[in-house]
Chain A
Amino acid sequence: MLDDFLVRAGLAAVGLSLATGPLGSFVVWRRMAYFGDATAHAAVLGVALALATDLPIGLGTLTVALAMAVTVASLAARGWAMDTTLGVLAHSALAFGLVAVSFFPTVRTDLSAYLFGDILAVSRTDLALVWLGALAVLALLAWRWQALLTATLSEDLAHAAGIKPDRERLVLVIALAGVVAVALKIVGALLIAALLIIPAATARSLARTPEAMATIAVAVGALSGLGGLGLSLWQDTPTGPSIIVVAAALFALSSMRRPD
């Protein structure tokens, strides 16, 4: 069954949505959309780094995404003007990444695979990494769930309950870097943030509790993945963007319902 590239692609999309559903919900609640962009764009720089040092691509992207996420989080903690700072960092990371990657002629040709993903080329190893990564992120979020929710609602309430908001923010930052590393292959650096935000935003109007929103976001993410694959096959469109197109269509549908 896993011999079929379509089956592998479908399973990869479903696996990834296990992590992007709950994590994307936090990105929406905490208004970290640009933060997701900065981290995801840094992944392109990670690709260049991996190529330069002969490390696995996944490790390179994970390292650089983590470095970017920690940098942004600590700047935020020091009270920088986040809108501008994130704008500068997100776009610089992308530009530096693209320039750095151009020094490797072999990659130059399939640069679009890193920008827009290449889900149809997911190998068995890639698939295993996606599921392992997604399950690890899911486990991390599940473990810290109560504390994360409390810190998201109110840092003071969290403090008073003995929860350290800084530590919980770091948990999210690590989870975000993990998701970026595994999602790069599937939707590419440019659209990872979309995969985090759109399913969660879609789930918002259908949910009454945080848990319901995260669960529905997983379903919407999986549905978008499978639907995007279908669209891509049917119309011969690029797969990564097709996934986001389906997600956006689901969002438009859900927003016709008034939230509670």
Chain B
Amino acid sequence: MSLIAADHICVRFGEDEVLHDITLQVAAGEIVTILGPNGSGKSTLLRALLGIVPVAEGRITRAPGLRIGHVPQKLMIDRTMPITVRRFLSLPARVSDAAAAEALARVGMAGHGTDQMTTLSGGQQQRVLLARALLGAPQLLMLDEPTQGLDQPGEAAFYRLIEEVRAETGAAVLMISHDLHVVMAASDRVICLNGHICCEGTPRVVSTAPEYRALFGLGTQGALALYRHDHDHDHTDGPAQHHHGHDHEHDHA
């Protein structure tokens, strides 16, 4: 039984149909990535699933009592608001100091509880947002381009963290990305979006699908570098990912 399912949903902003006839499910424990170019409706789809944006047609069903942890794209905290990491973790529900410390430790931010949110780097802020989401013991984590603005090592570290969390808590993950490399490495399933679902499947299947290639312009001259880049990672990421998995088993043994 799936945690969340969209059944033929359409989302319109005025006359504009931003999302057309989307059907998807996320099952317990799987990592699903929504991939698409800018303006393809990725964020809107996530916001519709979260209930922020109303759907014009179709329906969204959630497993009864489903606990969702939401990690937004980026938090713009006004400089006029003083707020520590510890205080932030207690929004909207207050949590104990022990739970807050544990959540921070899990995301590699132990000891940062007294930091001001506005002084954190982009990567640190994403980790704190993830910690806050984890405090609700979510069955499903939803992340909207969580690594935007991070450098490559920061991005890789963040996705390793996501996999680690999935392994530890069994939470399913639904995330948005425009980053091919990440998608190939860290997802069980990829949904390729451009207003409608172009193709979906395992990363390997999607990466060879003609719809995917058309969407990302693979085969044109400009995208040749992109293709090579992608291809490189196909080779190097397999063993690398295996290596990571091995690491975690050691860590938690």
Contacts and interface: CB of A to CB of B under 8 A. Distances in A.
Given A147-B92, A158-B92, A209-B84, A153 B77 contact: yes
A230 interface: no
Interface stretch (B46-54, B100-108, B165-173): B46-54
Contact of B72 (A29, A157, A201): A157
B82 A204 contact: yes
A134 B62 CA distance: 43
Contacts of A163: 92
A156 B75 CA distance: 10
A161 B83 CA distance: 19
Size bracket, chain B contacts: 20 to 34
A146 interface: yes
A4 interface: no
A208 B91 contact: no
B51 to A, nearest CB: 7
A160 B52 contact: yes
Contacts of B98: none
Contacts of B1: none
A107 interface: no
B92 A207 contact: no
Given A209-B87, A210-B83, A156 B94 contact: no
Contact of A259 (B47, B52, B82, B142): B82
Of A30, A159, A160, the most chain B CB neighbours within 10 A belong to A160
B76 to A, nearest CB: 8
Interface of B: 47, 50-52, 68, 70, 72, 75-78, 80-84, 87-88, 91-94, 114, 116, 119, 142
